[in-house]
């Protein structure tokens, strides 16, 4: 059982890994149902027939033909090298603008879990656990 620790919202992990991530169909479903075009426009979708588009133009009927999902892109489908939902507020902490519906890859990120720990990140929430 990995130790439970609190994220200090420093934002280092979102800055380092908040882009260039692969997505899953389970992320897309709630975004499509809720018509979250603000999120879907930043998602690159590739289909079995080789075509690609942003998530804005897909429906539930397309889900079975998707072979790859990438985060994040601009509204023209070009890859961007930052997360568009990263938000550093005046209190110095970083907040996720889509916290309640963020991708699984973000929900599951707990660097104090030994299995996925990356010491180069120097996550401040990990400092009280030995390497």
Q: Which residues in this chain contact ligand SF4 in the complex, by CB under 6 A?
A: 7-14, 18, 83, 85-86, 96, 98, 102, 106, 111, 121, 123-125
Report how many helices (DSSP H) and strands (DSSP E) the chain contains, helices first: 4, 6
CB 82 to ligand SF4: min, Å: 9
CB 75 to ligand SF4: min, Å: 17
What is the Cα 52 distance to its own chain's centre?
A: 19
Please identify, using beta-carbon distances, which residue of 18 and 55 lies nearer to ligand SF4. Answer: 18
Please identify, using beta-carbon distances, which residue of 53 and 98 lies nearer to ligand SF4. Answer: 98
For residues 29 and 39, give the distance between their C-alpha atoms in angstroms, rounded to a whole number. 12
Please identify, using beta-carbon distances, which residue of 47 and 95 lies nearer to ligand SF4. Answer: 95
CB 117 to ligand SF4: min, Å: 10
For residues 24 and 12, give the distance between their C-alpha atoms in angstroms, rounded to a whole number. 23
Q: How many residues does the chain have?
A: 131
Please identify, using beta-carbon distances, which residue of 31 and 85 lies nearer to ligand SF4. Answer: 85
For residues 4 and 112, give the distance between their C-alpha atoms in angstroms, rounded to a whole number. 8
Helix (H, G, I), strand (E, B) or coil at 39: helix
CB 46 to ligand SF4: min, Å: 20
């Amino acid at each position: 059982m990995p130790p439970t620790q609190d994220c200090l919202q420093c934002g280092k992990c979102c800055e380092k890994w908040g882009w260039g991530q692969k997505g899953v169909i389970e992320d897309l479903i709630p975004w499509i149902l809720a018509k979250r075009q603000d999120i879907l426009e930043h998602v690159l979708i590739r289909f079995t027939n080789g075509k690609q588009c942003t998530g804005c133009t897909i429906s539930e009927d397309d889900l079975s033909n998707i072979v790859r999902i990438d985060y994040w892109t601009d509204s023209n489908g070009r890859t961007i090298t930052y997360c568009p939902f990263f938000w550093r507020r005046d209190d110095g902490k970083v907040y996720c603008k889509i916290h309640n519906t963020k991708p699984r890859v973000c929900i599951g990120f707990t660097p104090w879990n030994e299995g996925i720990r990356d010491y180069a990140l120097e996550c401040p929430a990990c400092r009280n656990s030995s390497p």
